[in-house]
Structure 1
Amino acid sequence: MSIVALLLLFLINNYLNFWLQWPGLPSFFSHHGWFGLETLRTPLEGDQIVKGWLQLLSYLGAVALAILYVLSTRKRPLRADAALLSGFAAYIIRASFWVVLIVGFADILISFLRVEELLPSLIGDDLTQALGRPQFRGLYVHCPLILLSFVVAVFNRSLGFTWLAFLVVLAEFQIVISRFVFSYEQPFMGDLVRFWYAALFLFASAYTLVHDGHVRVDVLYSRFGKRSKAWTNTVGTLLLGLPLGWIILVTGMWDKTSSINSPLHSFEVSQSGYGLYVKYLMVGFLAVYAVSMIIQFASYLLDNTLTSVRNQVVIS
């Protein structure tokens, strides 16, 4: 649970640091000269110091709350916590599916009307120009649709990855028909295929992990007993699964110019003229992938740890 708590705090503080200009722990530690860090050239002042203390206390509080939760739920089955985390990972993936579906349809409609110069007659010149700016479309079109998608995911628990794969095929098929039959092609058509395909690949990977459906290529694992498999899964999660997710997040979100933060902060779009304005969301897929995988690996760790310990107790 502490892994998930620290993960959520990392994301929250990432937003506070680079969108709301909070100091962040590295700057806060440097300000005080802690852990051998070089002192800041421009020391923090006033509310920045207070915000730094709040960020530090938030991490310490998350660990303390996780410990308190464990102590107060001693009789709660460990698999119940594993199922809770797995359900949370599934919700993130499910909501992300609705995001790419709804935003994809909305953005391609806007791009089509814009490239065919139909928007001014529908919404006026000022709003048409505004929709041509990435920040405006991201904040006032994409963000509300993203919130709507997370609400839809609460009530609709069916995952549509099969349908998303089918839509990718349809989107590619309509490109072929429009290009070779009607001699019509626009950049947003190819952008939609890439947008949906990237989501299908990254989200389906995490979804498959939730259902333990990944193909295992091995010569030893299939011959192990239940306890040996559990220990193998536990060690693999600690040495490979969780570190991979954290490496993606830390390297991509360490500072404002990192590979994930920079496109998200600037609402980066492709240079294909009248294409979709979703390139920054495609970069965000990496963060969603890492977050969902970390949460599911935490669930996997709890479940396999219980199996290995319980079998050990039975054998003893």
Structure 2
Amino acid sequence: MSFLLSLSKFIDALNEKVGSLVSWALLAAVLICTGNAFVRYLLNTSSNAWLEIQWYLFSAIFLLATSYTLKRNEHVRIDVIAGRFSKRTQVWIDIFGFLVFLLPITLIILYYAIPYAWISFQAQEVSSNAGGLIVWPAKFLIPAGFMLLVLQGISELIKRIAFLQGKIDASAFEKHGTTPEEEIEAIKAANKLN
């Protein structure tokens, strides 16, 4: 189990690094989007390449941040139902979800995404828009994102099993941010100030 926990820590560190890099892609996307809007409305001109760069960046953000989101336990959950159960039962629900839903679906998508991106690369696919960019780098984001998600799913599975064996504390996989109740209280407090 110690090897698996080390593997889990490595995967977690990898996805933390990817999540940090993706945050810079978000900043770049916002700046490019703003620049495109100014150029379009102030200078009455536009560029398909710059519009496609926005699309590439948004694709990268969405596809590469999913594993980071899962690692931080910020993904969509059924907390309204599962929150009523004991921590061990919640962990069993997570294990069931990872084994029955997350890993099979991500592996199926990965199975089809790799040839999809590879064919685009082999053909050196280019956008059909005038002045557009090459397309295959954006298509390679699909298998990259789903590979990271598969790895993070395995990491989360390892952590849940280690918790059930008493090897780690639940804090290793619990949400680190605020709870929905804390967010609601913060909103109420802010509304009282206004």
TM-score interval (norm. to shorter): 0.7 to 0.9
Which residue does 2:140 correspond to in 1?
Answer: 284
Please tell me whether Structure 1 or Structure 2 has the larger radius of gyration of its CA atoms.
1
The separation in 1 between residues aligned to 2:125 and 2:155, in whole angstroms, is 34
Which residue does 2:101 correspond to in 1?
Answer: 240
Taking a change above 3 Å as real, the CA distance of residues 295 and 183 of structure 1, as seen in their structure-2 partners, is: same
Does structure 1 conserve the Cα–Cα contact (< 8 Å) formed by 2:63 and 2:146?
no
The separation in 1 between residues aligned to 2:159 and 2:87, in whole angstroms, is 12
Alignment RMSD (CA, Å) = 2.1
Taking a change above 3 Å as real, the CA distance of residues 85 and 166 of structure 1, as seen in their structure-2 partners, is: closer
Task: Report the CA distance between 1:88 and its aligned residue.
Answer: 3.7
Instruction: Give runs of ≥4 in structure 1 deviating > 6 Å.
Output: none
Where 1:259 maps in the other structure, the secondary structure is helix
Unaligned stretches of 5+ residues in structure 2: 168-194
> Structure 2: which amino acid aligns with 1:165?
L
> Structure 2: which amino acid aligns with 1:235?
F
Q: For each residue in 1:252-276, what CA deviation from the matched residue of structure 2 results, as whole angstroms up to 9, or x when unmatched?
A: 33xxxx4232112222110112222
Unaligned stretches of 5+ residues in structure 1: 1-73, 95-158, 312-316
Is structure 2 residue 36 aligned with structure 1 residue 211? no
Is structure 2 residue 31 aligned with structure 1 residue 170? yes
% identical aligned pairs: 22
Which residue does 1:182 correspond to in 2?
Answer: 43
The separation in 2 between residues aligned to 1:285 and 1:226, in whole angstroms, is 35
Taking a change above 3 Å as real, the CA distance of residues 217 and 233 of structure 1, as seen in their structure-2 partners, is: closer
Task: Report the CA distance between 1:164 and its aligned residue.
Answer: 2.4
Which residue does 1:304 correspond to in 2?
Answer: 160
Where 1:197 maps in the other structure, the secondary structure is helix
Which residue does 1:260 correspond to in 2?
Answer: 117
Which residue does 1:82 correspond to in 2?
Answer: 8
Is structure 2 residue 136 aligned with structure 1 residue 275? no
Task: Say which of 63, 78, 82 aligns to 1:221.
Answer: 82
Alignment of 1:110-149 (within 5 A): none
Taking a change above 3 Å as real, the CA distance of residues 267 and 224 of structure 1, as seen in their structure-2 partners, is: farther
Higher RCO (Cα < 8 Å, 6 or more apart)? 2
> Structure 1: which amino acid aligns with 2:94?
N
Where 1:223 maps in the other structure, the secondary structure is coil
Does structure 2 conserve the Cα–Cα contact (< 8 Å) formed by 1:78 and 1:306?
no
Does structure 2 conserve the Cα–Cα contact (< 8 Å) formed by 1:171 and 1:189?
yes
Alignment of 1:37-116 (within 5 A): 76=2, 78-91=4-17, 93=18
TM-score (norm 1): 0.49
Task: Report the CA distance between 1:181 and its aligned residue.
Answer: 1.0
The separation in 2 between residues aligned to 1:163 and 1:249, in whole angstroms, is 25
The separation in 2 between residues aligned to 1:78 and 1:224, in whole angstroms, is 27
Task: Report the CA distance between 1:308 and its aligned residue.
Answer: 2.0
> Structure 1: which amino acid aligns with 2:150?
I
TM-score (norm 2): 0.77
